[in-house]
Amino acid sequence: MTPGEVAAGISYLRGRDPVLGVIIDRVGEFVLKPERDIFNALVRAIISQQISTGAARAIYKRLCDRVGGEKKLRTALPTLSLQELRAVGLSQQKAGYLLDLATKVSEGTVVLTRLSELSNEQIIEQLTQVKGIGVWTVQMLLIFSLGRLDVFPGGDLGIRTAIQRLYRRRTLPTKPIHLRKYEKLWQPYASIASWYCWRCLQFDEYKKKQARS
């Protein structure tokens, strides 16, 4: 995402969706610093599944320390055993996922250097070959690592919760037919709209804490 693309996207969304326009004003500047190392981003995504942010960070740090630093993770990970991965705090299942990622990348089944040349759908197809990586994980990568402008993570609970609150729906939207309305509304800048949805939830939680303190 270039600054020009983001500015064009925000202008487009303001005109297209007045509800989101209010949220853009409330939240403020769009800020996204893409994680350029795709391999490390995928490792963190696998580690983070179903555990707290703090626990995931601690495990990732121990893993990096074990291999001699974050920059060595890609080359060193395939040499570790399940037992060595378990020793840094990973479950056996996640340790297996990381070894599968490392193996598929090292053998060329998954080619990370070519992702920028592929469509969103092709990238999802490519990366979901790895055990433990599903569509949601790849969508997060598309937004936060590859900076793709038009990604709608309809399976994300935060996006569904934000839609329910912002558009005053009585129930949490879960069916694709109900979510498709918002995907079409925000295209071709669904990533920017999604970011504002997440930030809106964080902003509201912060305001609640401030009010209680």
Percentages of the chain per state (helix, strand, coil), in multiples of 5 = 70, 0, 30
- Assess contact for 186 and 12: CB atoms under 8 A: no
Looking up residue 166, the CATH number of its domain turns out to be: 1.10.1670.40
Question: Residue 200 is encoded by which pair of tokens?
Answer: 């809106």
The phi and psi torsions of 204 (rounded to 5 degrees) equal -65, -40
Residues 46 and 133 both lie in one domain: yes
Active site residue ranges: 156
Task: Out of 87, 121, 144, pick the residue that ends a domain.
Answer: 144
Indicate if the pLDDT at residue 207 is higher than 80.
Answer: no
pLDDT tens, position by position, 155-194: 888 899 999 999 998 899 888 888 999 999 999 999 999 9
Tell me the one-letter amino acid at 193: A
Task: Out of 144, 160, 189, pick the residue that ends a domain.
Answer: 144
How many domains, in total, are found in the chain?
A: 2
Closest CA to 141 of 161, 127, 160, 122: 127
Residues 71 and 14 both lie in one domain: no
Q: What pLDDT, on a 0 to 100 scale, did the predictor assign at position 53?
A: 80
Question: Residue 85 is encoded by which pair of tokens?
Answer: 């991965």
- As a whole number, mean pLDDT of residues 53-76 equals 91
- Assess contact for 42 and 141: CB atoms under 8 A: yes
Question: Residue 72 is encoded by which pair of tokens?
Answer: 């060595």
Instruction: Give residue 87's pLDDT band: very low, low, confident or very high (50, 70, 90).
Output: very high
Question: Residue 132 is encoded by which pair of tokens?
Answer: 């433990």
Question: Residue 26 is encoded by which pair of tokens?
Answer: 């409330």
Residues 132 and 197 both lie in one domain: no
- As a whole number, mean pLDDT of residues 92-103 equals 94
Q: What is the pTM of this model?
A: 0.83
Residues 166 and 186 both lie in one domain: yes
How far is residue 7 CA from its own chain's centroid? 21
**From CA 38, how far away is CA 112, in angstroms rounded?**
7
Residues 96 and 156 both lie in one domain: no
Q: What pLDDT, on a 0 to 100 scale, did the predictor assign at position 201?
A: 84
pLDDT tens, position by position, 113-168: 888 899 999 999 999 999 999 999 899 899 989 999 999 999 888 899 999 999 99
Closest CA to 144 of 28, 73, 14, 44: 44
Indicate if the pLDDT at residue 210 is higher than 50.
Answer: no
Task: Out of 122, 144, 166, pick the residue that ends a domain.
Answer: 144
- As a whole number, mean pLDDT of residues 58-85 equals 92
Containing structural domain, residue 168: 3-32+151-212
